[in-house]
Amino acid sequence: MLDKQFNLNYKKYEKMIHHLLHQHQIKYHYDDYFQLMVIKLWDLLKSYDESKSTNQEKYIYLKLKYYLIDCLRRNIKEINRFLPTSDYTLLDQSYSDFYQYELYSLLDILNEEELTWLNLTLQGFSTNEISIYMNKSPSSIKRYRKSTREKLKSEFLF
């Protein structure tokens, strides 16, 4: 019985899903986004409460629209992420000589972990990526970050 009801709703909202995908100019991975939207439609139909929203079509449209926006944002974040694959290629490859010189001047202020954290942070790695590289927990990396900032503030701020 549920399958028949969903099939009726699917036929009813299929054009709406296509409209949303075209509205956001989805050309690549169209089928994947369509599949995600159909799954979300299933969830929305199961969780719809008439006492909270009287217009089901408007409710479904808005929820699907913002779900698609969330999916697009999540996909952009995943595309822009770089996960380290090799320990050898991580250090000292995107640095200019100036930054290397500045880092070496900090050797006597910072310990080895703090210097590694600073080096990787300046290269643009996230806390999770640094924790994978250093084989430490994210909370340890956050402690290194805090102590490094305190040392640098005390050294360079008047």
How far are the Cα atoms of 84, 100, 150 from residue 157, in angstroms, in the given order?
33, 21, 10
Helices (H), the chain: 2-23, 30-47, 56-80, 97-105, 112-122, 127-134, 138-156
The C-alpha atoms of residue 114 and residue 122 are separated, in whole angstroms, by: 12
Residue corresponding to tokens 């050797």: 107
Asked whether residue 5 carries a pLDDT value surpassing 80, the answer given is no
CATH number of 97-156: 1.10.10
CB 115 within 8 A of CB 144: no
pLDDT at 1: 40
Q: What is the mean pLDDT of the chain?
A: 79
pTM of the model: 0.47
Helix (H, G, I), strand (E, B) or coil at 70: helix
- pLDDT value of position 55: 84
Half-sphere exposure of 72 (CA within 13 A, CB side): 16
